[in-house]
Amino acid sequence: MMRIFVSRDAGAVAVGADEVALALTQAAGQRGIAIEIVRTGSRGLYWLEPLVEIATPNGRIAFGPVATADVSSLLDAMAADGPHALRLGVTDEIPWLKRQTRLTFARCGVIDPRSVADYCAHDGYKGLARALTLTSDAILADVTASGLRGRGGAGFPTGIKWKTVAQSSADRKYIVCNADEGDSGTFADRMIMEGDPLVVIEGMTIAGIAVGATSGYIYIRSEYPHAVATMNAAIQAARSCGYLGARIGGSAYSFDLEVRVGAGAYVCGEETSLLESLEGRRGIVRAKPPLPAHKGLFGRPTVINNVLSFAAIPFILAGGAKAYTDYGMGRSRGTMPIQLAGNIRHGGLFETAFGVTLGELIDDIGGGTASGRPVRAVQVGGPLGAYFPRALFDTPFDYEAFAARDGLIGHGGIVVFDDSVDMAKQARFAMEFCAVESCGKCTPCRIGSTRGVETIDKIRRGERVGENIAVVEDLCNTMKFGSLCALGGFTPYPVLSALKHFKEDFGPVPARLQAAE
């Protein structure tokens, strides 16, 4: 029996993984070869998807990117353990994978994401097992000691957030997972939900035990139907194995989860807007205070964290708080799953300790652009992140280092653009996106973004360029300091960074085209 692994991750399916899996089954049937195909998550080496792996006594051997036309010769090579043009060797030895420090993504792409047995066979539920032997205070101490900061973008210390909820008294408390990963260039939440959903469930369960909550919600965006399906299947599996529901793992604790699906509003990634949406309302941002930790979902104390924050918890609780905090730099401890996207040769998920430089990530790990043209700009941290030119490629991946250069790491997504990019157009897009997605509650965001689009249009038409650039800068200043949440408050990052680093693009179109030549 040959055990073959093919990803069911949406990114792999989008480039033909389902067809490859089907072709493998058919080809094996025709030859009378017994095979078992395990549908895993993705290893995150997307330029090699569809990636096909086979279990051997020396570890899994990878082949990729596999097309259905390759399947016949692939089966021969796998059966004979022989050479093949797509053979990549032992998967774990592929340099791109080997260079990583996979703590959160250790199992992603390795296990069957819907199998509790597979999860447990790969160190799953060890964190929960230890948490069940600890007091609430001891769990909180571990999370605090790990130095984990919220991976959604704001970087708030997770331990402090949990402690606030633990110390609040209420008839009910909630654990909410923010899986509204709307930032372009980010897909780590999607990958872990499709590749290792039980680690998120385990993290949320530990949170429930630590703060005294018995129910939780995972709010997943509707653009992620594959993640919704896998997460629901994993919840069912955890429930049937006694890891969700009453008396978890035979303990006195109860905890259960439900998936809720968003409806295409980007602003619902903002935590208070998400809570409104979960309550069945328009996703209008709430003023803070009160903090969700005091008055969150349905007015109850609520832990609301990003998918990756919860996913980091099991490793930490399994005894890894010290190990986790040993990684990283400054106040950014542990590892960050960095996502390389856009016009990039080797795009995918690269989990590594904080401190790696932007240049290493783009040129060395990412291999430059897919188009082969020079890299001109990279946007880090999603639609609200700054555009950095090559001159800033020495910036280390660290919350404070990016902030010092008027940028942010956000959720860890990096989108690469080559020299054909028009940065005035990108700045306009940032304003337009904000205008469309604004919840409308505060004026700087709602009106400022619309005025921003109009003013950038004037600049692009060559109307009083200098004066209108001053207007855009002034608008950005108002939005940055006057908006209620990060949507209006951070839209200035891409706009101002484009203006600052790529000023030659802001003017009448013909001038820009000449400048590009």
Q: Which residues bind another protein (CB under 8 A)?
A: 10-11, 13-15, 46-47, 49, 181-187, 189-190, 222-226, 260-266, 277-283, 298, 339-344, 347-349, 370-371, 379, 383, 413, 415-418, 421, 426, 429, 433, 437
Half-sphere exposure (Cβ direction) of 74: Cα atoms closer than 13 Å: 28
Q: Report, in Å, the least distance between residue 389 CB and another protein.
A: 15
Q: Report, in Å, the least distance between residue 31 CB and another protein.
A: 29
Q: Collapsing DSSP states into helix, strand and coil, what is residue 112?
A: coil
The residue (of 224 and 315) whose beta carbon lies closer to another protein is 224
Q: What are the C-alpha distances in Å from 319 to residues 144, 146, 292, 322? A: 13, 10, 29, 8
Q: Report, in Å, the least distance between residue 268 CB and another protein.
A: 9
Both tokens of residue 203? Answer: 């993290």
- Dist CA 49 CA 179 (whole Å): 24
Residue 179 · residue 185 · CB < 8 Å: no
What residues are paired with 149 via a beta bridge?
Answer: 157
Q: Report, in Å, the least distance between residue 130 CB and another protein.
A: 31
The residue (of 72 and 184) whose beta carbon lies closer to another protein is 184
- Dist CA 17 CA 11 (whole Å): 9
The residue (of 116 and 414) whose beta carbon lies closer to another protein is 414
Both tokens of residue 165? Answer: 């909820």
The residue (of 123 and 256) whose beta carbon lies closer to another protein is 256
Q: Report, in Å, the least distance between residue 449 CB and another protein.
A: 15
Q: What are the C-alpha distances in Å from 229 to residues 16, 81, 109, 312, 332? A: 19, 35, 17, 22, 33
The residue (of 153 and 328) whose beta carbon lies closer to another protein is 153
- Report, in angstroms and rounded to the nearest whole number, the Rg of the chain calculated over CA atoms: 24
Q: Report, in Å, the least distance between residue 184 CB and another protein.
A: 3
DSSP for 338-397 reads EEEEES-TT-EEEEEETT-BHHIIIIIIS-S-SSSSPEEEEEESGGGSPEEEGGGTT-BS
The residue (of 78 and 349) whose beta carbon lies closer to another protein is 349
The residue (of 318 and 416) whose beta carbon lies closer to another protein is 416
DSSP for 386-439 reads PEEEGGGTT-BS-HHHHHHTT---TTSEEEEEETT--HHHHHHHHHHHHHHH--
The residue (of 77 and 192) whose beta carbon lies closer to another protein is 192
Q: Report, in Å, the least distance between residue 125 CB and another protein.
A: 27
The residue (of 181 and 398) whose beta carbon lies closer to another protein is 181
Q: Report, in Å, the least distance between residue 20 CB and another protein.
A: 14
Contacts of 472 (CB under 8 A, 6+ apart): 427, 452, 455, 456, 459, 495, 499
Q: Report, in Å, the least distance between residue 341 CB and another protein.
A: 3
